[in-house]
Amino acid sequence: MMDPEYAAALDKAVAFKSIRPPSTVTEARVIFDKFFVSAQNTFLEPHLPPDNTYVLTDQLIPVDGGEISARCLVPVVDDDSETFPVLLYIHGGGFSLGGIEMDDYTLRIRCVQHKISIVNVAYRLAPEHPFPTPVNDCYAALKWTASNVSLLRGDLSKGFLIGGESAGANLSAVLAHMARDDPFFEGRRLTGQYLCEPNICHYAAYPESLKPMFRSVEGFPAMPTLSRQAIERYYRWYNAPPSDPRFSPLLYPSHQGLPRTYIQAMELDPLRDDAFVYTEVLREAGVETKMDLNRGVTHAFYSCFPALAAAARVRENAERGFEWLLRREQST
């Protein structure tokens, strides 16, 4: 059952309801920027912390074939010697939409609220840069972050987190596996991951033993903020082999040794069961995992309709999740 306030907002949103499936990625980006990015940032702008409570710098990170940008946020505190935990954040948008501005305001608020340094990475997008370019770009950003802790006034012993929403959660889950297995990160391992609405396995590659648990893709094929048709379009643009663990991280042979994990799911989301299944798989592998289910709402609704009480709950859950990942939950 849909949240009543959300249902009423959808009913009144004539422009949103009139959206037709885009025919090109350019058209999809225009729609996404208007109804997701701009709507969220317009709502959050009055809640931004004062400019003197954080330092913002844009950095260039070398990647195979060029450079990508990253927006770095560092808290400002009275003690100039204080250091902070670090978060690498990866935006969503089906691997083909969004950018560095998408969660910029959310991350400025998070930086100050949690006293955490943040690297917001602008990876190259499909279909111009299909799989595995977004994976490789984000992994280069993760290595850059670990190598530039002093620039971020970071202390990875206080926390080294990775996270994102939707496609960003998929990429975060993949990178958590890659970093676990990479000697480069010895002595500076990830300590937590935030996965909001993660896509953890292509529906064509569900393991036989887990197929009965994946019902939401078929159960919610035409939700207003993410449909089965849209998922297939994003998959087509990304062009990743369904069974490659770098796209379907559920298929990694082991999930042991992954960092503490916080997951958010939306009840009416085609990707809901990805969150359910991954939570159980991680727990069975001995990974400390916590999940929140937001009832009566759809994928990424909180960006389109940020003023709703349900959207506020998603934001509140996220911030409590970060406190939990940083092991500060008893102080909140």
Domain ranges of the chain: 4-326
| Element of type H or E holding 47 | none
Residue 227, SS3?
strand
Beta strand spans in the chain (E): 54-63, 66-75, 86-90, 117-122, 160-165, 192-196, 260-266, 289-294
Residue 48 has pLDDT above 60, yes or no: yes
Query: What share of the chain has pLDDT > 70, as a percent?
Result: 99
The residue-averaged pLDDT of 195-220 equals 97
- pLDDT category of residue 329 using cuts at 50, 70 and 90: low
Q: What is the pLDDT of residue 66?
A: 95
Q: Are 125 and 156 in contact (CB under 8 A)?
A: no
Residue 39 has pLDDT above 80, yes or no: yes
Longest Cα–Cα distance of the chain, Å, equals 56
- pLDDT category of residue 167 using cuts at 50, 70 and 90: very high
Query: What share of the chain has pLDDT > 90, as a percent?
Result: 96
Closest CA to 144 of 72, 82, 84: 72
Q: What is the bridge-based pairing of β-strands 54-63 and 66-75?
A: antiparallel
- pLDDT category of residue 18 using cuts at 50, 70 and 90: confident
The domain 4-326 having CATH identifier 3.90.1530.10: the answer here is no
Give the whole-angstrom CA distance, residue 278 versus residue 282.
6
The residue-averaged pLDDT of 123-152 equals 98
Residue 331 has pLDDT above 70, yes or no: no
Chain mean position to CA 19: 24
What are the pLDDT digits (tens) for 234-280?
999 999 999 999 999 999 999 999 999 999 999 999 999 999 999 99
- pLDDT category of residue 330 using cuts at 50, 70 and 90: low
Q: What is the pLDDT of residue 190?
A: 98
Residue 332 has pLDDT above 50, yes or no: no
Rg for the chain (alpha carbons), in Å? 19
- pLDDT category of residue 136 using cuts at 50, 70 and 90: very high
Q: What is the pLDDT of residue 17?
A: 82
Q: How far, CA to CA in Å, does 260 sit from each of 13, 36, 107, 203?
A: 39, 29, 21, 26
The residue-averaged pLDDT of 31-42 equals 96
The residue type of 325 is L
Q: Which residues pair with 166 in a beta bridge?
A: none
Indicate which residues carry an active-site annotation: 166, 269, 299
Output the pTM of the full model. Answer: 0.97
Mean pLDDT of all residues belonging to the chain: 97
Q: Are 43 and 52 in contact (CB under 8 A)?
A: no
The residue-averaged pLDDT of 304-316 equals 98
Q: How far, CA to CA in Å, does 14 sit from each of 8, 9, 10, 18, 315?
A: 11, 10, 8, 6, 25
Closest CA to 156 of 129, 185, 134: 185
Q: Which residues pair with 162 in a beta bridge?
A: 88, 193
Ordered DSSP codes for 236-291: HHH---TT-TTT-GGGSS--TT--EEEEEEETT-TTHHHHHHHHHHHHHTT--EEE
